[in-house]
Amino acid sequence: MSLLENIESPQDLKALPVDKLDDLAVEIRHHLIETVSVTGGHLGPNLGVVELTIALHRVFDSPREPIVFDTSHQSYVHKMLTGRSKDFATLRQKGGLSGYTDRGESEHDWTESSHASAALSIIDGMSKAFKIKGEDHRNAVAVVGDGALTGGMCWEALNNISAGHDRNAVIVVNDNGRSYSPTIGGLSENLGRIRSQHGYDQLMQEGKKRLKSMGWVGERAFDALHAVKEGVKSTVLPTEMFPELGIKYVGPINGHNVGALLHALSYARDYEGPIIVHVVTEKGHGFAPAVNEPKDQMHSTGAIDPVTGVAKGKKQPGWTAAFSEELLAAAAQRDDIVAITAAMAGPTGLAPFEEKFPERFFDVGIAEQHAMASASGLALAGMHPVVAVYSTFLNRAVDQVIMDIALLKMPVTIVLDRAGVTGSDGPSHNGVWDMALMSIVPGMRIAAPRDGARLRELFNEAIAVETGPTVVRFPKGNLLDDIEAVDTLADGVDILHYSDVDVDSDTDTAAETAEGEEIPSVLIVAVGAMSTRSMRATTILEESGINVTVIDPRWVCPVAQSIVALGADHDLVVVIEDGIMRGGIGSLISEALEAAEVDTPVRHIAIANYFPEHASRGEVLADNGLEPTAIAEQINQWVEMLVEEETEGQF
Q: Is 148 annotated as a binding residue?
A: yes
Contacts 24+ apart (CB under 8 A), 456-459: 456/322, 456/326, 457/554, 458/554, 458/555, 459/323, 459/326, 459/327, 459/330, 459/413, 459/415
- CA dist 338 and 623 (Å) reads 40
Q: Is omega for the bond preceding 252 within 30 degrees of 0, making it cis? A: yes
- Helix or strand run (H / E) with residue 295: none
Q: Is 73 annotated as a binding residue?
A: yes
144 touches 126 (CB < 8 A): no
Distances (CA, A) of 259 to 14, 21, 226, 349: 14, 9, 12, 41
Among residues 261, 431, 429, 411, the alpha carbon closest in space to that of 337 is found at: 411
Among residues 497, 572, 499, 558, the alpha carbon closest in space to that of 533 is found at: 497
Residue type, 346: G
Q: Is 368 annotated as a binding residue?
A: yes
- CA dist 45 and 290 (Å) reads 10
DSSP per position, 69-110: ESSSTT-HHHHIIIIIGGGGGGTTSTTS--SS--TTT-TT--
Q: Is 222 annotated as a binding residue?
A: no
Catalytic member of 29, 178, 396, 473 = 396
Radius of gyration of the chain (CA): 27
Q: Is 213 annotated as a binding residue?
A: no
Longest dimension (CA), the chain: 91
Q: Is 368 among the residues known to form the active site?
A: yes
Q: Is 176 annotated as a binding residue?
A: yes
DSSP per position, 114-149: --TT-HHHHHHHHHHHHHHTT-TT--EEEEEETTGG
635 touches 505 (CB < 8 A): no
Distances (CA, A) of 174 to 46, 59, 178, 651: 11, 17, 10, 59
Strand 555-557 and strand 445-447: the pairing is antiparallel
Cα-Cα-Cα-Cα dihedral sign, residues 192, 59, 25, 103: negative
- CA dist 99 and 42 (Å) reads 8
Q: Is omega for the bond preceding 558 within 30 degrees of 0, making it cis? A: yes
Sequence-ordered list of residues with C-beta below 8 angstroms from that of 293, at least 6 positions apart, any chain: 44, 284, 309
Phi and psi at residue 26, in whole multiples of 5°?
-60, -45
Catalytic member of 282, 368, 577, 619 = 368
- CA dist 421 and 475 (Å) reads 7
Among residues 79, 77, 12, the alpha carbon closest in space to that of 45 is found at: 77
Could you tell me how many residues make up the chain?
A: 651
- CA dist 494 and 508 (Å) reads 32
Catalytic member of 58, 178, 283, 533 = 283
Q: Is 429 annotated as a binding residue?
A: no
Helix (H, G, I), strand (E, B) or coil at 49: coil
| Sheet arrangement for strand 275-280 | 67-69, 140-145, 169-175, 275-280, 248-254
In this structure, what DSSP letter does residue 490 have?
Answer: T
Q: Is 287 annotated as a binding residue?
A: yes
Annotated binding-site residues for Mg(2+) read: 146, 176
Annotated binding-site residues for thiamine diphosphate read: 73, 114-116, 147-148, 176, 287, 368
For the annotated catalytic residues, the residue numbers are 283, 368, 396
Annotated binding-site residues read: 73, 114-116, 146-148, 176, 287, 368
